[in-house]
Amino acid sequence: MKFDKGFNYKLRGKALEFTINTKIYSLKAIYQAAYLFLDKVYVFLDGDPEKEIKVIMKLKRPSFANASSSVPQSETSEDKSAGLEQIAGEFYNELLNQLLREKVSESNAKIREYIVSAALYNAVPNEVDRLLQEVEEEDWQEDPLGIAKTWEDKQNKEGLKKK
């Protein structure tokens, strides 16, 4: 069966099979897209990551709560096939969405790193600022040991003593 140009898939009972070209779609984008479908179908991935990935999606059985209800299941195999075809289309849309998110993330990586590093730098008090504040708060005019005298002051006092 053919969904659209370049999108080939096979329906086999409750399973849908198709391949994804990994030269176009990254493995990360494939994993992220597959993760979003785990509540609807079982997803199996296989193949060579350098060439293509084979994706098999199998419909999940109805939950035990639904199976034990007295309402009969009236879903036909045609309904299931149509549902699988719809899931395949949604999967490729999500795959494109994840690929675009990855590309935008790559292009914004430097500015994102800059913003995070600036935020972290400003969140931590600067050591130089802290030391300057300590020095400003100290009363450095007191000199109980007499070591804060200038050279001229010492020379003048020694000169006066010698005379």
Please provide residue 90's backbone torsions phi and psi, each rounded to the nearest 5 degrees: -65, -35
Which CATH number among 3.40.30, 1.10.1740, 3.30.1360, 2.60.40 corresponds to the domain 2-108? 3.30.1360
Count of beta carbons in the 10 Å neighbourhood of residue 50: 8
Residues 6+ apart with CB under 8 A from 87: 16, 37, 40, 41, 57
Q: So where are the chain's domains?
A: 2-108
> Shortest CA distance to 43 belongs to which of 66, 20, 63, 21?
20
> Shortest CA distance to 32 belongs to which of 80, 96, 98?
98
pLDDT of 42-95, one tens digit each?
999 999 989 999 999 998 876 444 444 444 455 566 666 777 888 888 999 999
pLDDT of 99-128, one tens digit each?
999 999 999 999 999 999 888 877 777 777
pLDDT of 147-162, one tens digit each?
777 778 777 776 666 6
What's this model's pTM, rounded to 2 decimal places? Answer: 0.59
| Strand residues in 24-113 grouped as ranges (E) | 41-48, 52-59
